[in-house]
Amino acid sequence: MKKKIGNKEIELMEGDITKLDAEAIVNAAGPSLIMGGGVAGAILREGGQIIQEECNKIGPIDVGEAVITTAGRLKARYVIHAVGPRLGEGDEEKKLRMATLNSLKLADEHRLKSIAFPAISTGIFGFPKDRAARVMLSATIEYLRGKTGLERVIFCLHGKDTYEIFCNELKKLIS
């Protein structure tokens, strides 16, 4: 599914974020920036140990923050590591919004035209997918309506259910 925000585009797809040809992909990171399982583990396996080595020089970071590294062997040029909240820690929606916006800002600072997000915090962090879709998509739409060099924001989602939740939310937000 694709939707236009002015001359910019939001695209939703089901698939493997490590295979995307976006300039940057976002890693759903933990504060330590240790790349274990989930999205982070897949990025590490496909991109190589160099990504973890760069993270080791940066971390830890706070929830809601984002940092950038090179992307090793991935098609993407960069990996943006965004720390989303764990369900139950408090202020989760605000923290997820900040992780999304800080990722978008980093992409702009590096003059990137495209970025791809997973559904941050919805895996082992337990954040509900419908709330994540609302927070991440609304933050992205708002950001794209402002002054930005980004042309394309992709949400590369794992599983048909997550994809459908994000599609339904995007339809509500852009009607």
Q: Kindly report the pTM of this predicted structure.
A: 0.95
**pLDDT grade, residue 144 (50/70/90)?**
very high
The pLDDT score that the predictor gives to residue 96 is 97
What is the per-residue pLDDT across 54-109, written as a single tens digit (0 to 9) for each? Answer: 999 998 999 999 999 999 999 999 999 999 999 999 999 999 999 999 999 999 99
Closest C-alpha to 95, from 144, 132, 58: 132
* Whether residue 149 has pLDDT greater than 90: yes
* Whether residue 26 has pLDDT greater than 90: yes
Mean pLDDT over residues 11-35, rounded?
94
Mean per-residue pLDDT over the chain, rounded: 95
Share of the chain above pLDDT 70, in %: 100
What is the per-residue pLDDT across 111-120, written as a single tens digit (0 to 9) for each? Answer: 999 999 999 9
Distances (CA, A) of 56 to 18, 60, 139: 20, 8, 29
Q: What range defines the domain where residue 92 resides? A: 2-173
For position 54, which CATH number holds? 3.40.220.10
Contact residues for 75 (Cβ-Cβ < 8 A; gap 6+): 19, 20, 21, 22
Total structural domains within the chain:
1
- The distance in angstroms from the start CA to the end CA of the chain is 14
The pLDDT score that the predictor gives to residue 37 is 80
Within 13 Å and on the Cβ side, how many CA atoms surround 38? 20
Share of the chain above pLDDT 90, in %: 92
